[in-house]
Structure 1
Amino acid sequence: MYKFSYEETLSESGSRKRENERLAIEQSVSMLKSAEKAGANSREAIDAICFLNRLWSFLLEDLVKPENALPDDIRANLISIGIWMLKEAEAISSGRSKNFAGLIDVSNVIAEGL
């Protein structure tokens, strides 16, 4: 009986983690949309890029851990996406890009997958 309850808790905990990740990505999308409207040099853009950087740094840190239970191919794909997201964010910060739409689109796809 105890084992069953513990397994349920682990399962729910993973489910909660995915939900929290989805909510964080949706928050990032909301901020990126505001930044896109306000412009790449706006306070909204700075806040959105900072949030995105923190979020993807956290996600990448989790993805590279050996105890991460995702299949290797999915982890590799998400790591590649995360690196791309950080590079695009840096390009926006440095004025080389205004590609908020790409960040928004990719983030929406990731959130839907969670």
Structure 2
Amino acid sequence: MYQFSYAEIMEEGVAVSKDRERQVLERSIALLKAAMTSNGGNQSRQAIEAIYFTRRVWLRFIEDLGDPENQLEAELRANLISIAIWILKEVEKIRKRESSNFQGIIDITTIIKDGIK
């Protein structure tokens, strides 16, 4: 039987969490790309699915980033919350047919995903 230190177990837990975060962001990006190329525009099934999935992801990130037990630096957390708020505003504009800025959301989400290490 293997013996693991608490630090090793905690590090593995963090790695798994980061991997999940990357996977969720990859899913959001895939949905946004499908929505961007769909025939129905902002009101297509793909767009609606992408909008609501992306919205849920970023609302959850804001919730996590606002948690006092989040171990990221305060400035980084604040910057990520600002980015999340921008994405939520863009998603809402798309939902209201005021924008079709899927690519902007894809670009920012990709940068965030690639920054998760």
TM-score (norm 2): 0.93
Post-superposition CA distance 1:29-88 (Å, at most 9, x none): 000000000121100000000000110111110000000000011101100000001000
Greater than 2 Å deviation, 4+ residue runs:
none
- Cα distance in 1, alignment partners of residues 9 and 36 from structure 2: 40
Pairwise CA distance, 1:22: 0.6
Question: Residues 1-114 of structure 1 correspond to what in structure 2 (within 5 A)?
Answer: 5-38=5-38, 39-114=41-116
Query: What is the identity, as a one-letter code, of the residue corresponding to 1:59?
Result: F
Q: Which runs of 5+ in 2 are unaligned?
A: none
Q: Which runs of 5+ in 1 are unaligned?
A: none
- Cα distance in 2, alignment partners of residues 78 and 12 from structure 1: 23
How many residue pairs get aligned? The number is 112
Identity among equivalent pairs (%) = 46
- Cα distance in 1, alignment partners of residues 5 and 63 from structure 2: 29
Pairwise CA distance, 1:15: 1.1
- Cα distance in 1, alignment partners of residues 90 and 18 from structure 2: 24
- Cα distance in 2, alignment partners of residues 49 and 6 from structure 1: 39
Pairwise CA distance, 1:6: 1.3
